[in-house]
Structure 1
Amino acid sequence: MKGLNDVDFARARGGLTSWVAIALCCAALTGVFVSNEWSNVDQLRDEVERAESRIEQRQRAVERERLRQKQMTPEQRRIERILAEQQVSTTGSGLPVIDWIEHAWTPQIALKTLTVEKAGREARIEGGAADLSHIYIFVERLNDRHPDRKIGLLQHRTKAEDGKNIYHFSLSLEHP
Protein backbone atom coordinates (compact mmCIF):
# COMPACT_ATOMS: atom_id res chain seq x y z
CA MET A 1 0.00 0.00 0.00
CA LYS A 2 2.94 2.07 -0.03
CA GLY A 3 2.52 2.91 -3.73
CA LEU A 4 -1.01 4.12 -3.20
CA ASN A 5 0.06 6.94 -0.93
CA ASP A 6 1.86 8.63 -3.77
CA VAL A 7 -1.17 8.72 -6.08
CA ASP A 8 -3.55 11.67 -5.68
CA PHE A 9 -7.09 10.89 -6.85
CA ALA A 10 -8.50 14.39 -6.26
CA ARG A 11 -8.38 17.01 -9.00
CA ALA A 12 -6.62 20.27 -8.56
CA ARG A 13 -9.16 23.08 -8.09
CA GLY A 14 -7.02 25.98 -9.31
CA GLY A 15 -6.99 25.24 -13.07
CA LEU A 16 -9.59 25.97 -15.72
CA THR A 17 -11.58 23.15 -17.06
CA SER A 18 -12.71 22.94 -20.65
CA TRP A 19 -16.34 23.62 -19.63
CA VAL A 20 -15.37 26.84 -17.90
CA ALA A 21 -13.40 27.93 -20.96
CA ILE A 22 -16.39 27.23 -23.24
CA ALA A 23 -18.69 29.17 -20.88
CA LEU A 24 -16.30 32.15 -20.86
CA CYS A 25 -16.09 32.15 -24.68
CA CYS A 26 -19.88 32.02 -24.93
CA ALA A 27 -20.17 34.89 -22.46
CA ALA A 28 -17.64 36.95 -24.44
CA LEU A 29 -19.46 36.27 -27.73
CA THR A 30 -22.78 37.15 -26.11
CA GLY A 31 -21.28 40.39 -24.82
CA VAL A 32 -20.02 41.31 -28.30
CA PHE A 33 -23.42 40.45 -29.82
CA VAL A 34 -25.31 42.49 -27.21
CA SER A 35 -23.06 45.53 -27.68
CA ASN A 36 -23.49 45.31 -31.47
CA GLU A 37 -27.28 45.09 -31.14
CA TRP A 38 -27.25 47.97 -28.66
CA SER A 39 -25.42 50.06 -31.23
CA ASN A 40 -27.99 49.09 -33.90
CA VAL A 41 -30.83 50.06 -31.57
CA ASP A 42 -29.21 53.46 -30.96
CA GLN A 43 -28.91 54.03 -34.73
CA LEU A 44 -32.55 53.06 -35.23
CA ARG A 45 -33.62 55.44 -32.46
CA ASP A 46 -31.70 58.26 -34.17
CA GLU A 47 -33.40 57.47 -37.50
CA VAL A 48 -36.83 57.45 -35.83
CA GLU A 49 -36.10 60.81 -34.18
CA ARG A 50 -35.03 62.32 -37.52
CA ALA A 51 -38.17 60.96 -39.23
CA GLU A 52 -40.39 62.33 -36.47
CA SER A 53 -38.65 65.69 -36.78
CA ARG A 54 -39.28 65.77 -40.55
CA ILE A 55 -42.93 64.83 -40.00
CA GLU A 56 -43.33 67.64 -37.46
CA GLN A 57 -41.71 70.13 -39.85
CA ARG A 58 -44.06 69.07 -42.66
CA GLN A 59 -47.08 69.35 -40.38
CA ARG A 60 -46.01 72.86 -39.34
CA ALA A 61 -45.51 73.83 -43.00
CA VAL A 62 -48.95 72.46 -43.92
CA GLU A 63 -50.50 74.37 -41.03
CA ARG A 64 -48.74 77.60 -42.07
CA GLU A 65 -49.95 77.15 -45.66
CA ARG A 66 -53.49 76.46 -44.46
CA LEU A 67 -53.46 79.64 -42.38
CA ARG A 68 -51.98 81.62 -45.30
CA GLN A 69 -54.69 80.31 -47.64
CA LYS A 70 -57.35 81.21 -45.07
CA GLN A 71 -56.08 84.80 -44.79
CA MET A 72 -55.81 85.40 -48.55
CA THR A 73 -58.14 87.81 -50.30
CA PRO A 74 -60.11 86.66 -53.36
CA GLU A 75 -57.76 88.64 -55.60
CA GLN A 76 -54.73 86.92 -54.10
CA ARG A 77 -56.42 83.54 -54.61
CA ARG A 78 -57.04 84.37 -58.25
CA ILE A 79 -53.39 85.34 -58.73
CA GLU A 80 -52.23 82.12 -57.02
CA ARG A 81 -54.51 80.05 -59.28
CA ILE A 82 -53.17 81.76 -62.41
CA LEU A 83 -49.58 81.22 -61.30
CA ALA A 84 -50.30 77.55 -60.52
CA GLU A 85 -51.70 77.09 -64.03
CA GLN A 86 -48.45 78.39 -65.47
CA GLN A 87 -46.30 75.81 -63.73
CA VAL A 88 -44.05 73.89 -66.13
CA SER A 89 -44.95 70.25 -66.47
CA THR A 90 -42.65 67.40 -67.41
CA THR A 91 -44.70 66.54 -70.50
CA GLY A 92 -44.82 69.95 -72.16
CA SER A 93 -44.40 73.67 -71.71
CA GLY A 94 -47.09 73.93 -69.06
CA LEU A 95 -49.11 76.37 -71.16
CA PRO A 96 -51.86 74.62 -73.12
CA VAL A 97 -51.82 77.04 -76.05
CA ILE A 98 -48.05 76.66 -76.54
CA ASP A 99 -48.32 72.86 -76.54
CA TRP A 100 -51.18 73.14 -79.00
CA ILE A 101 -49.18 75.39 -81.36
CA GLU A 102 -46.12 73.18 -81.07
CA HIS A 103 -48.16 70.14 -82.06
CA ALA A 104 -49.57 71.89 -85.15
CA TRP A 105 -46.40 73.66 -86.32
CA THR A 106 -44.51 72.50 -89.41
CA PRO A 107 -41.15 73.69 -90.76
CA GLN A 108 -42.92 75.39 -93.68
CA ILE A 109 -44.30 78.00 -91.25
CA ALA A 110 -42.09 80.75 -89.87
CA LEU A 111 -43.30 82.22 -86.61
CA LYS A 112 -42.22 85.85 -86.21
CA THR A 113 -44.01 86.72 -83.00
CA LEU A 114 -45.96 84.75 -80.46
CA THR A 115 -47.84 86.59 -77.75
CA VAL A 116 -49.39 84.52 -74.96
CA GLU A 117 -52.08 85.95 -72.69
CA LYS A 118 -54.54 84.86 -70.00
CA ALA A 119 -52.31 82.29 -68.33
CA GLY A 120 -51.57 80.43 -71.55
CA ARG A 121 -55.15 80.20 -72.73
CA GLU A 122 -54.94 82.76 -75.55
CA ALA A 123 -52.25 83.59 -78.08
CA ARG A 124 -51.62 85.73 -81.11
CA ILE A 125 -49.26 84.55 -83.83
CA GLU A 126 -47.66 86.50 -86.62
CA GLY A 127 -45.69 84.57 -89.16
CA GLY A 128 -44.97 83.79 -92.74
CA ALA A 129 -44.94 80.98 -95.28
CA ALA A 130 -43.73 80.43 -98.85
CA ASP A 131 -47.16 79.21 -99.94
CA LEU A 132 -50.67 80.23 -98.87
CA SER A 133 -51.68 76.54 -98.60
CA HIS A 134 -49.12 76.06 -95.79
CA ILE A 135 -50.94 78.71 -93.75
CA TYR A 136 -54.30 77.01 -94.29
CA ILE A 137 -52.82 73.61 -93.39
CA PHE A 138 -51.36 75.14 -90.21
CA VAL A 139 -54.78 76.59 -89.28
CA GLU A 140 -56.42 73.24 -90.01
CA ARG A 141 -53.88 71.41 -87.81
CA LEU A 142 -54.54 73.94 -85.04
CA ASN A 143 -58.27 73.24 -85.31
CA ASP A 144 -57.69 69.46 -85.30
CA ARG A 145 -61.16 68.20 -84.29
CA HIS A 146 -61.48 70.33 -81.15
CA PRO A 147 -64.77 72.20 -81.24
CA ASP A 148 -63.95 74.24 -78.13
CA ARG A 149 -60.86 75.82 -79.62
CA LYS A 150 -61.27 79.10 -81.41
CA ILE A 151 -58.87 79.95 -84.20
CA GLY A 152 -59.15 83.15 -86.16
CA LEU A 153 -57.09 83.94 -89.25
CA LEU A 154 -57.09 87.69 -88.76
CA GLN A 155 -55.28 88.56 -91.97
CA HIS A 156 -52.91 87.34 -94.62
CA ARG A 157 -51.07 89.35 -97.22
CA THR A 158 -48.47 88.77 -99.89
CA LYS A 159 -45.15 90.57 -99.89
CA ALA A 160 -42.40 90.18 -102.47
CA GLU A 161 -39.00 89.63 -100.88
CA ASP A 162 -35.87 88.76 -102.87
CA GLY A 163 -37.99 88.04 -105.94
CA LYS A 164 -40.21 85.54 -104.10
CA ASN A 165 -43.72 85.97 -102.75
CA ILE A 166 -43.90 85.54 -98.99
CA TYR A 167 -47.31 85.16 -97.39
CA HIS A 168 -47.55 86.90 -94.02
CA PHE A 169 -50.38 86.08 -91.62
CA SER A 170 -51.85 86.88 -88.21
CA LEU A 171 -53.76 84.35 -86.13
CA SER A 172 -55.60 84.54 -82.85
CA LEU A 173 -56.04 81.40 -80.75
CA GLU A 174 -58.20 80.70 -77.74
CA HIS A 175 -57.83 77.47 -75.79
CA PRO A 176 -60.61 76.78 -73.26
Structure 2
Amino acid sequence: MASLYVKAVPPADLNRNTEWFLYPGVWTTYILILFFVWLLVLSVFGCSPGMAWTIVNLSHFAVTYHFFHWKKGTPFAEDQGMYNRLTWWEQIDNGKQLTRNRKFLTVVPVVLYLIASHTTDYQHPMLFLNTLAVIVLVIAKFPHMHKYLIVCIEMKLLCFTLSLVSTDWPMHGKAYILVGKDWNSGMTFSG
Protein backbone atom coordinates (compact mmCIF):
# COMPACT_ATOMS: atom_id res chain seq x y z
CA MET A 1 0.00 0.00 0.00
CA ALA A 2 1.32 3.40 -0.93
CA SER A 3 2.30 5.86 1.72
CA LEU A 4 -0.51 8.19 2.62
CA TYR A 5 1.76 10.98 3.76
CA VAL A 6 3.97 13.21 1.71
CA LYS A 7 7.62 13.31 2.70
CA ALA A 8 8.60 16.95 2.54
CA VAL A 9 11.95 18.58 3.02
CA PRO A 10 11.99 21.01 5.94
CA PRO A 11 11.75 24.60 4.75
CA ALA A 12 14.96 26.52 4.23
CA ASP A 13 15.83 29.48 6.37
CA LEU A 14 13.08 32.00 5.68
CA ASN A 15 14.97 34.88 7.26
CA ARG A 16 16.31 36.97 4.37
CA ASN A 17 18.88 38.47 6.72
CA THR A 18 20.67 35.13 7.21
CA GLU A 19 19.65 32.95 4.24
CA TRP A 20 22.62 34.13 2.16
CA PHE A 21 24.95 32.26 4.49
CA LEU A 22 23.37 28.95 3.41
CA TYR A 23 24.46 29.37 -0.22
CA PRO A 24 27.26 27.14 -1.51
CA GLY A 25 30.63 28.81 -1.70
CA VAL A 26 30.02 31.35 1.07
CA TRP A 27 32.73 29.87 3.30
CA THR A 28 35.26 29.97 0.46
CA THR A 29 34.30 33.54 -0.39
CA TYR A 30 34.63 34.54 3.28
CA ILE A 31 38.17 33.12 3.46
CA LEU A 32 39.14 34.70 0.11
CA ILE A 33 37.90 38.11 1.27
CA LEU A 34 40.09 37.84 4.38
CA PHE A 35 43.09 36.86 2.26
CA PHE A 36 42.57 39.71 -0.22
CA VAL A 37 42.14 42.19 2.64
CA TRP A 38 45.49 40.94 3.99
CA LEU A 39 47.09 41.50 0.56
CA LEU A 40 45.54 44.97 0.38
CA VAL A 41 46.79 45.92 3.86
CA LEU A 42 50.21 44.49 3.04
CA SER A 43 50.53 46.47 -0.19
CA VAL A 44 48.91 49.76 0.90
CA PHE A 45 50.51 50.16 4.32
CA GLY A 46 53.81 48.52 3.42
CA CYS A 47 54.01 46.83 6.81
CA SER A 48 55.35 43.41 7.75
CA PRO A 49 53.18 40.35 7.05
CA GLY A 50 52.65 39.84 10.78
CA MET A 51 51.45 43.40 11.31
CA ALA A 52 49.17 43.03 8.27
CA TRP A 53 47.64 39.87 9.78
CA THR A 54 47.15 41.72 13.08
CA ILE A 55 45.37 44.56 11.27
CA VAL A 56 43.18 42.04 9.42
CA ASN A 57 42.43 40.21 12.68
CA LEU A 58 41.49 43.41 14.54
CA SER A 59 39.45 44.68 11.57
CA HIS A 60 37.68 41.32 11.35
CA PHE A 61 36.98 41.53 15.09
CA ALA A 62 35.52 45.04 14.85
CA VAL A 63 33.36 44.32 11.81
CA THR A 64 32.06 40.91 12.89
CA TYR A 65 31.42 41.96 16.48
CA HIS A 66 29.46 45.01 15.34
CA PHE A 67 27.41 43.30 12.64
CA PHE A 68 27.09 39.77 14.08
CA HIS A 69 26.85 40.40 17.82
CA TRP A 70 25.78 44.01 18.39
CA LYS A 71 23.25 45.17 15.77
CA LYS A 72 19.77 43.77 16.21
CA GLY A 73 16.93 43.22 13.77
CA THR A 74 16.83 42.90 10.00
CA PRO A 75 16.80 45.48 7.21
CA PHE A 76 13.68 43.86 5.72
CA ALA A 77 10.10 44.71 6.68
CA GLU A 78 8.58 41.36 5.65
CA ASP A 79 9.41 39.68 8.96
CA GLN A 80 7.03 42.06 10.79
CA GLY A 81 9.42 42.65 13.66
CA MET A 82 9.97 38.98 14.48
CA TYR A 83 13.76 39.47 14.65
CA ASN A 84 13.89 42.98 16.13
CA ARG A 85 15.39 41.80 19.44
CA LEU A 86 17.85 39.32 17.92
CA THR A 87 21.36 39.90 16.63
CA TRP A 88 22.50 38.33 13.36
CA TRP A 89 24.33 35.63 15.32
CA GLU A 90 21.09 34.73 17.15
CA GLN A 91 19.15 34.66 13.87
CA ILE A 92 21.54 32.40 11.93
CA ASP A 93 20.31 28.82 11.39
CA ASN A 94 17.01 29.79 13.05
CA GLY A 95 18.72 30.05 16.43
CA LYS A 96 20.00 26.47 16.47
CA GLN A 97 23.25 26.13 18.39
CA LEU A 98 26.46 24.38 17.29
CA THR A 99 25.56 24.10 13.60
CA ARG A 100 28.19 23.83 10.87
CA ASN A 101 27.88 27.53 10.02
CA ARG A 102 28.28 28.59 13.65
CA LYS A 103 31.29 26.33 14.09
CA PHE A 104 32.90 27.78 10.95
CA LEU A 105 32.30 31.34 12.16
CA THR A 106 33.83 30.41 15.53
CA VAL A 107 36.91 28.76 14.02
CA VAL A 108 37.74 31.68 11.68
CA PRO A 109 38.71 34.17 14.45
CA VAL A 110 40.75 31.49 16.22
CA VAL A 111 42.68 30.68 13.03
CA LEU A 112 43.19 34.40 12.34
CA TYR A 113 44.49 34.77 15.90
CA LEU A 114 46.93 31.90 15.46
CA ILE A 115 48.20 33.27 12.14
CA ALA A 116 48.53 36.84 13.45
CA SER A 117 50.23 35.76 16.67
CA HIS A 118 52.66 33.40 14.96
CA THR A 119 53.65 35.84 12.22
CA THR A 120 54.33 38.62 14.76
CA ASP A 121 56.56 36.23 16.75
CA TYR A 122 54.27 36.61 19.77
CA GLN A 123 55.44 40.18 20.41
CA HIS A 124 53.76 41.89 23.33
CA PRO A 125 51.53 44.65 21.95
CA MET A 126 50.24 42.65 18.99
CA LEU A 127 49.81 39.46 21.02
CA PHE A 128 47.80 41.32 23.66
CA LEU A 129 45.49 42.95 21.10
CA ASN A 130 45.03 39.72 19.12
CA THR A 131 44.31 37.76 22.32
CA LEU A 132 41.79 40.30 23.57
CA ALA A 133 40.01 40.30 20.20
CA VAL A 134 39.75 36.51 19.96
CA ILE A 135 38.62 36.12 23.58
CA VAL A 136 35.80 38.65 23.22
CA LEU A 137 34.72 37.27 19.84
CA VAL A 138 34.73 33.63 20.91
CA ILE A 139 32.94 34.36 24.21
CA ALA A 140 30.26 36.23 22.26
CA LYS A 141 29.70 33.07 20.19
CA PHE A 142 29.21 30.66 23.12
CA PRO A 143 25.77 29.00 23.18
CA HIS A 144 25.05 30.26 26.71
CA MET A 145 25.57 33.83 25.46
CA HIS A 146 22.35 33.60 23.41
CA LYS A 147 20.45 36.88 23.94
CA TYR A 148 23.27 38.48 25.95
CA LEU A 149 25.54 41.31 24.85
CA ILE A 150 29.05 42.01 26.05
CA VAL A 151 28.55 45.64 27.00
CA CYS A 152 31.85 46.96 28.25
CA ILE A 153 35.32 45.79 28.92
CA GLU A 154 37.35 47.92 31.28
CA MET A 155 41.10 47.46 31.47
CA LYS A 156 42.85 49.19 34.38
CA LEU A 157 46.32 47.80 34.86
CA LEU A 158 45.44 44.30 36.09
CA CYS A 159 41.71 44.83 36.62
CA PHE A 160 39.50 43.02 34.12
CA THR A 161 35.74 43.38 34.21
CA LEU A 162 33.41 41.80 31.69
CA SER A 163 29.83 43.01 31.90
CA LEU A 164 26.94 41.21 30.26
CA VAL A 165 23.52 42.64 29.67
CA SER A 166 20.47 40.70 28.57
CA THR A 167 19.10 41.80 25.19
CA ASP A 168 15.84 42.47 27.02
CA TRP A 169 17.80 44.82 29.31
CA PRO A 170 15.60 47.93 29.01
CA MET A 171 12.60 45.88 30.13
CA HIS A 172 14.20 43.98 33.01
CA GLY A 173 16.95 46.37 34.03
CA LYS A 174 19.34 43.56 34.96
CA ALA A 175 23.05 43.66 34.33
CA TYR A 176 25.18 40.60 34.86
CA ILE A 177 28.86 40.37 35.74
CA LEU A 178 30.33 37.17 34.31
CA VAL A 179 33.76 37.33 35.85
CA GLY A 180 35.90 39.91 37.49
CA LYS A 181 38.58 40.57 40.03
CA ASP A 182 38.94 43.46 42.42
CA TRP A 183 42.70 43.89 42.47
CA ASN A 184 42.56 46.41 45.32
CA SER A 185 41.02 43.97 47.80
CA GLY A 186 42.23 40.75 46.15
CA MET A 187 38.69 39.34 45.99
CA THR A 188 37.57 37.29 43.02
CA PHE A 189 33.91 37.14 42.13
CA SER A 190 31.69 35.58 39.51
CA GLY A 191 28.01 35.23 39.04
Q: TM-score category by the smaller chain?
A: under 0.3
TM-score (norm 1): 0.25
TM-score (norm 2): 0.24
Structure number with bigger Rg: 1
Q: Which has the higher strand share?
A: 1
